[in-house]
Copies of this chain bind each other. A is one copy, B any other.
Amino acid sequence: MKQPGYLDVQRPVSPSRLKIACSNCNLRELCLPVGLSEGEMQQLDEISHLKRGYARGDYLYRSGDKFQSLYAIHSGSFKTQVLHEDGREQVTGFQMVGEIIGLDAISTEHHTCDAVALEDSEVCELPFDKLEALSREIPSLQRHLHKIMSREIVRDQGIMLLLGSMRAEERLAAFLLNLSQRFAARGLSPTQFQLRMSRREIGSYLGLKLETISRAFSHFQEDGLISVKVRSVEILDLPRLHSFVGK
């Protein structure tokens, strides 16, 4: 049952991005790795399949689940979080359309974090053993997979830098700029967007409390850097927001 607004919206996206192809997910442009032939795309499509119907709060997988597949986000968005036995939780990332999640589970063959939908979402499941087999046959796919994993490592390093050496408002500015870039890469506005996550979730991701996030938003607004009303954000002064990070 095709819902309006999902599959028919083709979003122009920079073609060089590192995403696994998934044409039955209608994400060919987003996901197309450089240099894959039609036939090879076909093979990739054959091993993957779409899973629909995730609603806000639904788990795509949980920490401890047996690892079977990677997932390419086809629509919507997710957060990943690790839980500590004492109840503390740390959001480790927010993933949006075209991004791959589940890479953490390869090492132990069990997932090490939870993946939770932030809104109505669909994913494209990529069984990992089939993906490995295919990447042995297609070197460009192999390299592509390695790049995706490496890119995740680089991303994590960036978050470590943020958590380890930035003050609260710098962290939030860096976060907003990161969202801005990722929206822009999907052909959406880099300056006007809806946050899909709560203040608490942003705080967890940035190593801060929700009140601190709220205050920082208010302060940015007073300074004329952004306009924010609950979850809708407009960046008014992108250059100044940039210069604010690492000031």
Bound complex: CA of A60 vs CA of B145, how far in Å? 25
Out of B6, B90, B150, B246, name the residue touching A106 (CB < 8 Å): B150
Bound complex: CA of A6 vs CA of B83, how far in Å? 10
A residues 99-124 near B (Cβ < 8 Å) are 103-108, 110, 112-113
Report A77 CB to chain B, min CB distance, Å. Answer: 19
Say whether B139 contacts A143, CB under 8 Å.
Answer: no
**Closest partner residue, chain B, to A83 (CB atom):** B2
Say whether A104 contacts B164, CB under 8 Å.
Answer: no
Over the window 132-146 of chain A, the binary record of Cβ atoms lying under 8 Å from chain B Cβ atoms (1 yes, 0 no) is: 110110010011011
Out of B104, B133, B163, name the residue touching A153 (CB < 8 Å): B104
Complex contacts, A151 vs chain B, CB 8 Å: 107
> Does any Cβ of B come within 8 Å of A64's Cβ?
yes
Bound complex: CA of A150 vs CA of B105, how far in Å? 7
Out of B103, B143, B157, B164, name the residue touching A113 (CB < 8 Å): B157
Complex contacts, A206 vs chain B, CB 8 Å: 164
Complex contacts, A1 vs chain B, CB 8 Å: 63-64, 110
**Closest partner residue, chain B, to A91 (CB atom):** B164
Say whether A88 contacts B246, CB under 8 Å.
Answer: yes
> Does any Cβ of B come within 8 Å of A165's Cβ?
yes
Q: Name 24 interchain pairs, CB-CB below 8 A, sorted by A.
A: A2-B63, A2-B64, A18-B107, A82-B157, A82-B161, A86-B247, A89-B165, A90-B161, A92-B157, A92-B161, A104-B154, A107-B150, A107-B153, A112-B154, A135-B136, A135-B142, A146-B149, A149-B149, A149-B150, A156-B159, A156-B160, A160-B163, A164-B205, A164-B207
